[in-house]
Structure 1
Amino acid sequence: MPEEAATSPENPRVLIVEDEGVVALDLARRLSQLGYAVCGPTDRGEDALRLARDLSPDIVLMDIVLDGALDGVDAAGRIRDELAVPVVFLTAHADPETLRRAGAAGPYGYITKPFENRDLTTTLDIALYKSRMERRLRDNEQWTAMTLHYLGEGVITADPQGLVRFANPMAETLLGVSAARLLGRDLATLYKTLRDPEQGDIPDGLEGAREVAILCREDGSRLPVEQTLSSILDDRGRALGTVLVFRDISRRRDVERALRDSVAGLRLALTETVNALTVTSETRDPFTAGHQERVSRLAEALAKALGFSDEEREGVRMAGLVHDIGKIHVPSEILTKPEALSAMEMGIVRDHSTVGFDILKDVPFPWPLARMVLEHHERCDGSGYPAGLRREDMHPGSRILAVADVVEAMTAHRPYRSAWSLEHALAELAKGRGRLYDADVVDACLSLFERGDFRF
């Protein structure tokens, strides 16, 4: 048997199976001249199958009439089924019965003897191109099939009538139904969900939108899932069906609930800590007991009226509860002195903003409490303390605290003066609008009291 011809990656390998020796030699010569690498030749179907296994040719040029137990049609069928190597029939027999049998073997072309080189190269090139495209398609299908098989999400496809055509193993697991029972069933009756109360509304008909729902399984159990339903379109935009992708999010839900519980616990601990600080600072001055709590309530109401978010309002409320924490450094005799303070004593009192900042600055609050405490005595025109900041340099929460603090202080008794009436205090506040106090905050405060939406 002739030795295998030398090959290169650029030269397609052709196995010649021909029962006429002269024709086989002529084919080998022509193919070599045309740039092909020749394998074989052989004149038996059994040898063709063995050589195809051993040499892995790119294509087989197969005569239909061969010696041995396997003729060309039978050998071609075995090579196609076992090795997926393309076969082109080479024959002088063109009777209907022969062509019928040959067609059943799935050939990639026919060359009828006698033939020209042009016919040979055209047929082989077309067959090789078709084989490469089919192999690429098979590889892609295999990649897709394996990906879908091991995908951690359920995937179901349905035809335009809504009947299930494919379901991967994860879809079987999540639905609790075997693939044999899924195929051919109506997707709408098979996959039933309820609206998840924890999920916000999703607009109807939102293509490809991810939403959370409660899957009602056939065994009566329910499972929280995240799902996406999308159309399958051809290259002309025509609908071929739909694909449903869904996954179990019960574990994620458990983690989210645990996280929410943890955050709630931390917030409670934080609130209790702030309350303890408030009580600690106010026990030294019975005349201002409750001042920080009342300032906190008014500040929160003002933040709500001004459109602050829930999280921002909570930060302002917390800052109000501890805005005078720095007064723990002020001697009690100064805090309870029933007459005007001296310049030195006033300086000590004014330091409470800075002391409060120093106490809170290293505490990892989720809000800038230390800054708001530091700035709550600043004024919009720069006449406040401790830094003489102007409005644009103050935190929005600080501007709210400044108004809430001064209104509460004017309407409460102090050792050195009686409480002002609410009307007098609001009139005084209005005088400082835009100069001492933020105009928007003042307007919100006046509106709250005038409408009766807030009371100390």
Structure 2
Amino acid sequence: MPSQKSRILVVEDEAIVALDIQSRLRYMGYDVAGVASTGEDAVDKAGKLKPNLILMDIMLEGGMDGIEAAGLIKENFGIPVVYLTAYADKQTLERAKITNPFGYIIKPFEDRELQTTIEMAVYKYETDRKLVLSERLLATTLKSLGEAVVTTGADGLVRFLNPVAEQFLGVKLEEAQGRTLPELLRHDDSCMAGFGSHTCRFTRSSGESVPIETNVSPILDDWGGTVGSVLVFRDISERVKSERNLREYVASLRESLEATVEALAVTAEKRDPYTAGHQQRVAALATAIAAELGLDGDRLEGLRVAGLLHDIGKIYIPAEILAKPSTLTNIEMGLIKTHSEVGFDILKNIPFPWPVAQCVLQHHERLNGSGYPAGLSDGQISEEAKILSVADVVEAMSSHRPYRAALGLDRALGEVKRNRGVLYFPDAVDACLGLFESGRFSFEMEERA
């Protein structure tokens, strides 16, 4: 069920299909805001109903198709659109891209695919909208800051104050003339640390300390001599506050992303309780290996997220197969092997700042091309996926499975060592062995942490 009930406008010109979509949406807990069968009707109802999301068929009755309607809706109302269509030809896709859709689902589709796309589209839209609003707030604050201007002569005495400076300093021009800047500003020494820009604190007559930004420029005569100076300063209290709020907001977005990742990871493990904790342990080992190889912090975070989600595609596999206590048949094993592609399909439209979906897709590929799903070889597999595959094999062999007892860490490490350079990335294997042999990593250590 969606975490928050979204109102969805369905745009579909086939009545039976429209009824089916409405039924599915209501079953999944969404509110159907309305139904439109033409592009013109879709634009009209989008403006009147203000839904959270629009499911848009491309081929519609009338003179306006779904892509044209989506363009007008984006321009006039900014409502996110997900295309729900049977058309996936190159020309249609290129046209659809122009409208920047929040998803593209090909008919026929499964409820899980529809719900995942809707949830991710709404999440992305809300995240983008909040970020835009935050940026507008910050921009408005910066543009509204008044600048105070003070000029002095060669003797350092004040010659001019503008009205903003008068208000800020609490003195009139007549009172300020003939006095020095240090007398007026009541600032710390950094405010007047030579020409250029500085930040410092100004103490008001009330005793309040205010952060200010100053820029001091010389006034030059025709021969380049300094005959005075111009001091421009502004109260940056609001900017400092806004920047702090923005940092907190970005941190909040990261927390929301982390919560989403954790929720997706738990979803996969609920389907396969015998591997509970597997994704977390694989993520921990993969990031430890990557750190040994010198990957930077951003790539480490992307690999950690990929590790937490690498088996998300198992939600597609029947639970009785995942929990089967005996050897799997070829058909069952073939179904299991689809999980990396399913995981890719689930994650590919999520706007992660890292190539998470690609890493999930490739984590069962092998250097010699014997892996799946695409039989990629060494140069075609990303470094993150090669690292993740080593961590996945070591953890999986070390742990209990319904169809076999745990094989133990020694056999797991022996497997990657024996096939180093054949199946597994040599650098990742070496780093993995070094971590365990030195005692700097263990699964028990990670679980205690």
Q: Return the TM-score normalized by structure 2.
A: 0.57
Shift of 1:161: 5.8
Equivalences for residues 118-267 of structure 1 within 5 A: 152-159=146-153, 162-188=156-182, 190-191=184-185, 210=197, 212-234=199-221, 237-267=224-254
Cα deviation code 1:385-418 (max 9, x no counterpart) = 2123344433443333223222222322223343
Aligned counterpart, 1:20: none
Cα deviation code 1:273-330 (max 9, x no counterpart) = 3222222211222221100111222233344444445444333222221110101112
Aligned counterpart, 1:382: 369
In the alignment, the residues of structure 2 paired with residue 262 and residue 151 of structure 1 have an alpha-carbon distance, to the nearest angstrom, of: 22
In the alignment, the residues of structure 1 paired with residue 153 and residue 435 of structure 2 have an alpha-carbon distance, to the nearest angstrom, of: 61
Structure-2 change in CA distance of 1:195 and 1:254 (3 Å): farther
SS in 2 for 1:269: helix
Structure-2 change in CA distance of 1:213 and 1:275 (3 Å): same
In the alignment, the residues of structure 1 paired with residue 428 and residue 221 of structure 2 have an alpha-carbon distance, to the nearest angstrom, of: 59
SS in 2 for 1:363: coil
Aligned length: 300
Equivalent residue in structure 1 for 2:392, among 359, 381, 405: 405
Shift of 1:445: 3.3
In the alignment, the residues of structure 1 paired with residue 214 and residue 246 of structure 2 have an alpha-carbon distance, to the nearest angstrom, of: 23
Q: Aligned AA for 1:335?
A: L
Shift of 1:193: 5.1
Aligned counterpart, 2:260: 273
In the alignment, the residues of structure 2 paired with residue 208 and residue 399 of structure 1 have an alpha-carbon distance, to the nearest angstrom, of: 54
Structure-2 change in CA distance of 1:246 and 1:292 (3 Å): same
Query: What do you get for the CA RMSD once the two structures are aligned?
Result: 3.6
In the alignment, the residues of structure 2 paired with residue 413 and residue 430 of structure 1 have an alpha-carbon distance, to the nearest angstrom, of: 21
Equivalent residue in structure 2 for 1:419, among 398, 406, 427: 406
Shift of 1:230: 4.0
In the alignment, the residues of structure 2 paired with residue 449 and residue 239 of structure 1 have an alpha-carbon distance, to the nearest angstrom, of: 69
Contact 2:145–2:235 at 8 Å: present in 1 too? no
Aligned counterpart, 2:303: 316
Aligned counterpart, 1:354: 341
Aligned counterpart, 1:146: none
Equivalent residue in structure 2 for 1:363, among 326, 342, 350: 350
Q: Which moved more, 1:281-290 or 1:172-181?
A: 172-181
In the alignment, the residues of structure 2 paired with residue 306 and residue 194 of structure 1 have an alpha-carbon distance, to the nearest angstrom, of: 47
Shift of 1:368: 3.0
Contact 1:195–1:214 at 8 Å: present in 2 too? no
Residue segments in structure 1 that go unaligned for 5+ positions in a row: 1-149, 197-203
Shift of 1:434: 4.4
Contact 1:151–1:170 at 8 Å: present in 2 too? no
Structure-2 change in CA distance of 1:242 and 1:279 (3 Å): same
Shift of 1:164: 3.7
In the alignment, the residues of structure 2 paired with residue 320 and residue 195 of structure 1 have an alpha-carbon distance, to the nearest angstrom, of: 52
In the alignment, the residues of structure 2 paired with residue 336 and residue 309 of structure 1 have an alpha-carbon distance, to the nearest angstrom, of: 38
Shift of 1:240: 4.1
Aligned counterpart, 1:107: none
Structure-2 change in CA distance of 1:274 and 1:168 (3 Å): same
Contact 1:162–1:188 at 8 Å: present in 2 too? no
Q: Which moved more, 1:330-339 or 1:291-300?
A: 330-339
SS in 1 for 2:271: coil
SS in 1 for 2:358: helix
Structure (1/2) with the larger helix percentage: 2
Structure-2 change in CA distance of 1:333 and 1:254 (3 Å): same
Contact 2:145–2:234 at 8 Å: present in 1 too? no
Contact 1:162–1:187 at 8 Å: present in 2 too? yes
Q: Aligned AA for 2:166?
A: E
Q: Which protein, 1 or 2, shows the higher relative CO under an 8 Å CA cutoff with sep ≥ 6? A: 2
In the alignment, the residues of structure 2 paired with residue 295 and residue 262 of structure 1 have an alpha-carbon distance, to the nearest angstrom, of: 30
SS in 2 for 1:437: coil
Residue segments in structure 2 that go unaligned for 5+ positions in a row: 1-143, 444-449
